[in-house]
Amino acid sequence: MNSILVIHASPRGARSHSRRLAESFVARCLALDPTTQVHRREVGRAMVEPVNEAWIAAAFAKEVPRPAHMEADLATSDALIDELQRHALLVISLPMYNFSVPAGLKAWVDQVIRLGRTVAAEATPEGTAYRPLVHGKRAVIVTTRGGEGFDPGGPYAHLNHADTWLRVALEFIGITDVQVIAAESDETERFAQTYREAEAALARVAAERTRPAEQLA
Ligand SMILES: Cc1cc2nc3c(=O)[nH]c(=O)nc-3n(C[C@H](O)[C@H](O)[C@H](O)COP(=O)(O)O)c2cc1C
């Protein structure tokens, strides 16, 4: 399976740095392997509906099978999970918004983390144990920020609840192979440099992705 699901979280179109950077990575992947299938899911310029009371009632319903009206309440969630399951690589473009992620991406995550579909819960003597149900996928988070110092080891790393939080959410459902590439200071002259460095890092990720497995050892 050689397919990419691209999730764009910025409400901005052509002006979006994170979108442009992620698309340059996708273009590079396609150049290296033209058989790659690319599918795009917009969660920045077109909102995924947030979960609501009916969704919660349906998602945690005890009835098996669920009544038809509950299945209908989970239709968006099912479609987004099916879409996720069809692809080997997730590329998520992510602007940092108020130290966290834009609302559209949060809504997507809330729709996709589903008991019984992407994560299982079992009662144990120690409490609830969660078991991820998504297997064999990788994710590349391409993030841009207006400020700087949010990367690991940076002076503001402790304020970064954007890519760090997204990594936790992806790992919770079983996507543990997650790479984060960031460009910072987008309002300053330094941005051109951090953007170039991010592009170079993404080029390495793309090349490594298409290298035959025996060469990776
Ligand atoms: C509503 C809003 C909140 C933001 N919050 C932060 C923030 O907390 N930290 C930061 O470094 N930059 C912040 N920024 C700047 C964006 O992260 C930065 O401009 C980013 O590159 C935007 O991504 P885009 O170009 O893909 O739209 C914020 C921008 C907006 C519009």
pLDDT tens digits, residue range 98-117?
999 999 999 999 999 999 99
User: What total number of domains does the chain contain?
Assistant: 1
Task: Give the pTM.
Answer: 0.95
Residue 148 CA: nearest ligand 1 atom is: 11
**So what's the pLDDT on residue 126?**
94
Q: 29 and 37 in contact (C-beta within 8 Å)?
A: no
Domain of residue 70 covers 3-216
pLDDT of the residue at 217:
44
Residue 105 · residue 42 · CB < 8 Å? no
Q: Is residue 154 lining ligand 1, measured as CB closer than 6 Å?
A: no
- Work out the angle at residue 39's Cα, subtended by the Cα atoms of residues 71 and 18, and round it to the nearest 5 degrees: 110
**Of the candidates 10, 6, 3, 4, the residue with the CA atom closest to the CA atom of residue 143:** 10
Which atom belonging to ligand 1 lies closest to the Cα atom of 9? Answer: 26
CA-nearest residue, atom 4 of ligand 1: 97
CATH number of the domain encompassing residue 104? 3.40.50.360
**Ligand 1: does its nearest atom lie under 6 Å from the Cβ of 16?**
yes
8 lines ligand 1 (CB under 6 A): no
Count the neighbouring beta carbons within 10 Å of the beta carbon of residue 84. Answer: 21
pLDDT for 187 equals 84
Query: 15 CA to middle of ligand 1, Å?
Result: 12
- Residues of the chain short of pLDDT 70, as ranges, are 1, 210-217
Nearest CA to ligand 1 atom 1: 97
- Pocket lining: 147 vs ligand 1, CB cutoff 6 Å: yes
pLDDT, position 109: 98
| Distance, CA of 89 to CA of 131 (rounded, Å) | 21
Ligand 1 contact, 145 CB (< 6 A): yes
Q: Is 10 in the pocket of ligand 1 (CB under 6 A)?
A: yes
Whole-number Å distance, alpha carbon 157 to ligand 1 midpoint, is 15
* Bridge partners (DSSP) listed for residue 102: none
Q: Measured from the CA of 145, which atom of ligand 1 is nearest?
A: 17
Burial 23-54 (b: 16+ CB within 10 A, else e): bbbbebbeeeeeebebeebbbbeeebeebeee
- pLDDT for the residue numbered 216: 47
DSSP SS3 for 202: helix
Ligand 1 center to 147 CA (angstroms): 8
